[in-house]
Amino acid sequence: WDSRAQGLLIDRCLLERELLSSGHAHRGRGHGPAPVPHTFRATQFRSFVRQLYRYGFRKVPGWVGSAAPGDAGAWLHYCNPCFRRDRPDLLLRIK
């Protein structure tokens, strides 16, 4: 969540590595972390962003964040008026 609880803050590298990478679905016991279920249909970041746009999310222009010093631009900010932490009832409007 962003600081206003009205949008997503996405660490692109972390999202790609832990949720989008198709390699995680094939890991078994004794070969690293437990497999991650396929939460998203996308396996590439640009496909994930297309899905965000399809569901009415828009990138917040001019917002720059960083995960660590020297890692500028690692965090991306997306908003949707029906995606608010304090209003789960609005989720039904996202189609």
The closest alpha carbon to 32, from 42, 43, 21, belongs to 21
Domain residue extents for the chain: 7-22+42-93
**4-27 pLDDT, tens digit each:** 888 899 988 888 888 887 654 444
Q: Pick the residue with more confidence: 90 or 19?
A: 90
Entry pTM: 0.68
pLDDT in tens, 38-80: 556 677 888 899 999 999 999 988 655 544 444 545 688 999 9
Cβ–Cβ under 8 Å, residues 14 and 80: no
Q: Give the chain's end-to-end CA distance (angstroms, integer).
A: 20
Helix (H, G, I), strand (E, B) or coil at 75: strand
Tokens found for residue 34: 């437990």
Q: What topology is assigned to 7-22+42-93 in CATH?
A: Arc Repressor Mutant, subunit A (1.10.10)
